[in-house]
Chains A and B, each alone.
Chain A
């Protein structure tokens, strides 16, 4: 067997030009297949992992998927705010265990800023009910503190204690800044593989404070005495600790119920609330709805990728078949040195296997190299978090399937060569 493998390899090396092209065709198709499959797995996982343990998400009246996207995935924007009164009404309800206010709209060097309360670090859960953990520092204590996600800290090189400023609006280069209100990084969160990693968290009261002077979308006055770090303004410092300035509105809030049994009733009550048009969603339901939309597209992607692999294999078949005629002499020589027809058959099959193996190897490596390079873009722009820790068991299965399909395809030229060598013997009839 081993001499046959060597022989097949040498025979391919002799025709390395066309063999390389065949390998390339297979590699491209495998790259596509592995890429599509990794992205499919990644989307599914990052969708399902993003939020856990939250019973309801409440926002201004809009669609459930829109609310889920902006409140959890930080994609898109809210249509309106929720009034603070409504938030307080729900948070005081006897069946509600906790609420987390969310206020979006500002950015820091391309990363979304989320105003929230200390409850966030206590009650927010992702994955399998995992709590947020700190890799450095601690939750924010006063209005001048910020907590950044793992990706923000890594990519911008922040450490606990650094000072940052926020920009009004969203985008990497926002030109209307909040320069007069610097924040101190109080803590850095451990990586979660969710949009939390790419978020800058600040106190809700701080966010209200820095927008206080803003009227009609622009800053009207700069009052430096409101500087959050101005400890020497006694009445201001008192206000920070005693009566926190309650914001006029928040973007959305998360609700945890004391008992799951009350979730449906509470959702109904919020959706029917006359005081303000609200939308309340159950995260699991909205995730499922979102997945049903995205799932169709990713099913289609798999079909396309499979067809590309099929095309690659047909390319290999064509290349081997085309070489058969010119290699009749080679076969005759092999027969003359003692090769049996079965050896010829095996040789052709091994050739197909070697081509496919090389193609799969190149394809898997290329796919993972591309994915590793594209991961930050996918995470930043689409909120998709890929596992970029190299090939996984599933990739091996895919690779095995492609090689298997190549072997089946290789049966055709192998059979033809076998029959030819039986008919031709040592002399070629042309």
Chain B
């Protein structure tokens, strides 16, 4: 039996869900389209927007280069004025969000008929934060945020309630290659949370969005940009540091800089989307007895597995499920492109 994603969302009271892929052409649109159809079948009014942050250059600059999305009548969408003009449905214009884009302001509109719409113009996280309340206000019970191609920019706690991660065969020629690419993405969502005792220590730094280092006695604070410049180069940095909170991206460069710290160090990242370090660096980080935890995590609502590659080949569906299931405990895995009634509709639970 196919996974009813929408029912899962409603059961958990996730009203804002991001669809994110581990690579371009992973099958994110297919997964979202399936969820849109499910919502239509059970009569759940939808809201849609798409974030182009960190995506392709054209996407970031022009806010476009997204495939159109087919929406049921009554769907509320947030998109730039000129992108809406290219939609293949009749629209009822509901509000001007005032969010500027090269394609005109982002407007809120409702599809009068079913048809394709182009979602563009929402380019930054704070745009999503502004647009989503409009979608709810105009009747959307569930809001889907179509994430950037190969990033998790929209998977931010507070911005959305949960994420659907799409893993596609496009990421490798073998199942093992795909799993190797998917692993760090999945890991981000399953990193442990920071200990409660440390929360009160780092709370001021979180509020000020500053880097902070703790040596068990004193909390030293650093400006946010120091993460890029190199924390260990700062005169304030102490060799006795045991924990460091990084409000921004925990990148290869940040971890490389801290790698040589003489004692085990715990890095506290804000949320899964801020952990952007690659596999190789993370492997060495943990090998050195350092650790990585999250201040706040985001539930993975599901993992959509797409065994077909746009490049024309397909991988073993059963092998993909077999190898991915243990990596996502408690999370349903499904094939978003499965044909109705086929064996591929099976749902696995991690």
Do A and B pair up? The answer is no
Chain A positions near chain B (C-beta within 8 angstroms): none
Q: Interface on B for A, CB 8 Å cutoff?
A: none
